[in-house]
Structure 1
Amino acid sequence: MNMQTWKLVYLAARKAGTAGSINSDISWRLQCMTYFACGTIQLRKIKMAALTAKFRLAACLLNISEGRRKNIVEKVAKAAVCNEHGRSVVSACVEAYNLIDMNEHHGIHPCLGAVDLVPIYPLSESVSLDECGAVAQSIAEELTHQVPGCSIFYFGHADQPLNRSLVERRKELGWFNSCFNLNATRPDVGTELSLRYGLTGVGASPYVMNCNVTLDSQDLNAGRKIASSIRGVNQGGIQGVQAMAFPHVGKVEIACNVESVKEEKPTTSVMESKNFVSYRIGGQCYVYATPQTIEARVQTLAEHYGFGTVGIALVGFTPQKCKSLAEIALSQGAAEFWKKQERVYM
């Protein structure tokens, strides 16, 4: 499985869907690496161990509402690359607002804005969620200054003092059942909502990974039941997994958000340790379900309905891979690193 990187600085882009196909209904997701700097240093002269100690890393997985036009995605990505002032996320968002008109948007995947989601995730253990929340708020304020008319809602650690999750905020806004009421919605930052820009979510949370499992079937009803069965909030579901089913290129796709959740107690068995991966941020241990665990569960459920699966697509990176690539890119000079990457294999 491969991912086109578009030869970018700090940034990789891949559509949310099965590798090798273009789905006009599903947005593209851009991954931006950013960092908290601790002093001025010459990156090319530093060993990786020293680099890791000097930089406190965070990531932004930018979601834009575009799945048809590759040239639009490239322009948004290049806007991040060409920014020389350390504001690559803001630059990419501004470009997306300029290029995407929600009045002309068509698709079945739920979305609220031209720039749909700007989540900030801590990668380094020393980076706290509160710090990421403050960065998210700064991005939101700057966006409303640079793009008059855009509107933003906060989630997670940017949503102070309530810290409401993205799911909670989306439920309040009608994201899941397409009953979004433009006139009744009050943004946290910005002006009244415009039809052109829509509503953008900006926030901070532990890392959320995205993976999609394609069913070898067109049975959307069965797909919805499988998605419901693996949701972490349901009995017997997979902890931290949110899932929805969508038609996709003549098949049905189970699209999963895989949250990193606090580990309340150490894994108690070899089986559990194989199903979840743990890492630390802000002095707290978090775990997330592996893509293999999700694929295996979906396969088992699909067999119950008399069909199998085609494959799984990891959209972006695991938290560890994201951090590792950011460290390597910074050690080599981010621009040079991404220029050399014709393909990133996962």
Structure 2
Amino acid sequence: MPIFESVPNISEGRDRQKINALLEVIRPLADLQILDYSSDADHNRSVFTYIGTYAAVLRAGTVLVKKAAEILDLKTHSGVHPRLGVVDVLPIIPVWQADMADAVRLARELGGEIQKCGVPVVFYEYAALNPSERNLADIRRKRYNDRHSTAGLVCVGARNYLVAYNVNLDTANVSVAQTIAGQIREQGGGLRGVKALGLYLQSRSCAQVSMNLVAPEIIGPREAYAKVKSLAEGVGVQVKEEELIGVLPEVVAQEARKLSADIDRKIALLKNMGEKAKEKKLR
């Protein structure tokens, strides 16, 4: 049974009641497993990680955006992380017995269902309809006039695994984090597959280098940490702590194999029960 991962990033990281309401619309769905969820008050952002069948992930993304559009308002949102919508990004990752073409098909269908809810969609990465919108950073720099007044828009994509990883610095000077982010960012000639921002976390009174490692098999958390630490120490700043957001790719793959096997067993059992019932009826 093909299994996909989805990692929606939601523009709410402070109101626990609203975060729980969003989790509750996906928690009961059949053939779907929530692997992780985390929230950050400074980013004012929550990240959910779940896996499931094509149909389950399609349903989860649709009901999640619909609920978020009902209870969240982008006009009143504040946080250090850039965002375009109440559900900011909604990526689809092929995990087990599925390839990128399957993920693109699912992302495009999911985007269509979201648009039926009245929320505009921009497709990115492998699902992009426009080459200029393949890179999420390029999308964030564009101006979209058709955004929903309170829900904004949703970036729906098909992509490979990435690792969201943050390093907090023992300084309140955000320019240090911004400089390091520019030095390690692949786009600026830094580390392969690294996207980075320098942010200030008010609740912790420290600067943060926030990273997406999009080629973790080449540059993973260990390599990224070493580089950030070296650059920080070069300007007399120590590393305070590190954070892994979500689930590592190898764990996702392991859980996907288990879920696929469980679903296949259920299907085989139902098929066997149906055949036995048919035989009994023929006697």
- TM-score, normalised to structure 1, is 0.63
Secondary structure at the aligned position of 1:233 is classed as helix
Matches within 5 A, 1:236-247: 237-247=190-200
Cα offset for 1:58? 1.8
1:78 to 19, 24, 43: 24
Aligned length: 235
Tell which structure's C-alpha radius of gyration is larger.
Answer: 2
Which of structures 1 and 2 has the larger relative contact order (alpha carbons within 8 angstroms, sep 6+)?
1
AA paired with 1:92?
L
The answer on whether the counterparts of 1:212 and 1:313 sit within 8 Å (CA) in structure 2 is yes
Aligned position for 1:270: none
Q: 1:70 to 1:327 in 2, by over 3 A?
A: farther
Aligned position for 2:64: 92
Aligned position for 1:144: 115
Cα offset for 1:316? 0.6
Cα offset for 1:215? 0.5
1:258 to 204, 213, 216: 213
Spell out, residue by residue over 1:113-152, the C-alpha distance to the aligned partner (whole angstroms, 9 max, x if none): 011111111223x42222211101111111122x22x111
Q: Does 1:127 align with 2:78?
A: no
Q: Distance in 2 between matches of 1:60 and 1:153?
A: 16
Q: Distance in 1 between matches of 2:74 and 2:247?
A: 28
AA paired with 1:212?
N
Aligned position for 1:47: none
Cα offset for 1:231? 0.8
Instruction: Flag structure 2 segments of 5+ consecutive residues without an equivalent.
Output: 31-54, 264-283
| Seq. identity, % | 23
Aligned position for 2:74: 102
Q: Distance in 2 between matches of 1:91 and 1:118?
A: 12
Matches within 5 A, 1:225-240: 225-235=179-189, 237-240=190-193
Q: Distance in 1 between matches of 2:25 and 2:223?
A: 36
Instruction: Flag structure 1 segments of 5+ consecutive residues without an equivalent.
Output: 1-54, 174-180, 187-191, 261-275, 278-287, 334-346
Q: Distance in 1 between matches of 2:140 and 2:85?
A: 15
The answer on whether the counterparts of 2:89 and 2:155 sit within 8 Å (CA) in structure 1 is yes
Q: Does 1:160 align with 2:129?
A: yes
Spell out, residue by residue over 1:197-240, the C-alpha distance to the aligned partner (whole angstroms, 9 max, x if none): 111101111122200001011111111111111111223x2100
- TM-score, normalised to structure 2, is 0.77
Greater share of helix residues, 1 or 2? 2
RMSD after superposition: 2.0
The answer on whether the counterparts of 1:83 and 1:91 sit within 8 Å (CA) in structure 2 is no
Spell out, residue by residue over 1:306-343, the C-alpha distance to the aligned partner (whole angstroms, 9 max, x if none): 1211121110112111111233355568xxxxxxxxxx
Q: Distance in 1 between matches of 2:137 and 2:101?
A: 19
Matches within 5 A, 1:37-56: 55-56=1-2
Cα offset for 1:171? 4.8
2:87 to 115, 123, 126: 115
Q: Does 1:67 align with 2:36?
A: no
The answer on whether the counterparts of 1:212 and 1:253 sit within 8 Å (CA) in structure 2 is yes
Q: Distance in 1 between matches of 2:130 and 2:16?
A: 39
Q: Distance in 2 between matches of 1:329 and 1:71?
A: 29
Q: 1:60 to 1:195 in 2, by over 3 A?
A: same
Q: Does 1:209 align with 2:139?
A: no
Q: Distance in 2 between matches of 1:199 and 1:114?
A: 8
Spell out, residue by residue over 1:252-271, the C-alpha distance to the aligned partner (whole angstroms, 9 max, x if none): 111001113xxxxxxxxxxx
Q: Distance in 1 between matches of 2:130 and 2:151?
A: 27
Aligned position for 1:322: 252
Cα offset for 1:65? 0.3
Q: Distance in 2 between matches of 1:305 and 1:209?
A: 27
Q: Distance in 1 between matches of 2:170 and 2:247?
A: 25
AA paired with 1:167?
L
Cα offset for 1:101? 0.8
The answer on whether the counterparts of 2:133 and 2:139 sit within 8 Å (CA) in structure 1 is no
AA paired with 1:112?
L
